[in-house]
Amino acid sequence: MKKVPVQCRNIRLSYGETEVLKDVNLDIEPGEFFALLGPSGSGKSTLLRLIAGFNRHQQGQLLIDGQDVSAKAPWERNVGMVFQSYALWPHLSVWDNVAFGLVERKAPKQVIKEKVGAALELVSLSQYAERRPSQLSGGQQQRVALARTLVIEPQVLLLDEPLSNLDKTLRVQMRQELLAMQRRLGLTTIFVTHDQEEAMTTADRMAVLDKGGVQQVGAPATLYDYPVNPFVANFVGTMN
């Protein structure tokens, strides 16, 4: 697995008159588990969707592996995104949900078989391949969504509040699973959350967003001990 950096250079995005991202600069290191933390409405999803290619910025550059991908379509960017709602196909089996992206890309049958098998093994769901999503627990559905994204072998993994639909106990367990998997794969991962504790306990480094602006970037302990402004101090210092 090649580890690639992701860089945002002076990125601005507005919806009409409303400026949603204000001059965002970020340097995400190859192989890093990076958290985007901020309150609801701070622009986290907008920034993640922009990196994935579903939103377009009006100014600035987005570099993945050193290349400006601003003009590229989502499928040309080698990124995989897991949505908050999972967005699984209810009428398809777990296997077919995971195979979907490869079938769409017209991968050969044997390749699909091998890759889907490996992805399901990675998330410990091999024995559930024939089930429908509705026959799985929330945590298992979340793992299907992850497998479906990983099967296309992205260079960057984007997770938008992937654990927020789970109850607290499962959330803490899945958090560790996710981190262990990320460490095994070494995949550059950007993880959006509004949960301070989740970011603090998992991220190599994190950025705190407020009103579309990056307030501070650094290791969790650094932000906790040396916040640059009262917003960061309050937000990072308040545990759920």
Task: State yes or no: residue 169 binds ligand ADP (CB under 6 A).
Answer: no
For 96, the token pair is 């077919």
d(CA 209, CA 92): 37
DSSP, collapsed to helix, strand or coil, labels residue 69 as coil
Distance CA 60, CA 20 (A): 14
- Which listed range, 12-20, 96-104, 176-184, 225-233, lies at the site for ligand ADP (CB under 6 A)? 12-20
Query: Using CB under 6 A, which residues numbered 62 to 101 contact ligand ADP?
Result: none
Q: Does 38 bind ligand ADP (CB under 6 A)?
A: yes
Element (H, E) at 190: strand 188-193
Taking the complex as a whole, how short is the minimal distance between the CB of residue 65 and ligand ADP, in angstroms?
25
* Buried-state track 199-234, b at ≥16 Cβ within 10 A, e below 16: bbebbbbbbbbbebbbbbbbebeebeeebeeebbee
Interacting residue with ligand ADP among 4, 11, 20, 159 (CB under 6 A): 20
The rounded distance, in Å, linking the Cα atoms of 117 and 151 is 9
Rounded Cα distance between 32 and 4, Å, is: 9
Q: How far is the CB of 14 from Mg ion (least distance, A)?
A: 17
- Residue 41 is a binding residue for ligand ADP (CB under 6 A): yes
Asked if 149 is part of the footprint of Mg ion (rule: CB under 5 A), the reply reads: no
Q: Which of 4, 21, 38, 45 binds Mg ion (CB under 5 A)?
A: 45
Question: Among 44, 143, 148, 205, which residue interacts with ligand ADP (rule: CB under 6 A)?
Answer: 44
CA–CA dist 187, 170 (Å, integer):
23
CB 151 → ligand ADP: shortest distance, Å? Answer: 26
46 in contact with Mg ion (CB under 5 A): no
- Within 107-166, which residues bind ligand ADP (CB under 6 A)? none
Summarize as ranges the residues that interact with ligand ADP (CB under 6 A). Answer: 15, 18, 20, 38, 40-46
Summarize as ranges the residues that interact with Mg ion (CB under 5 A). Answer: 45
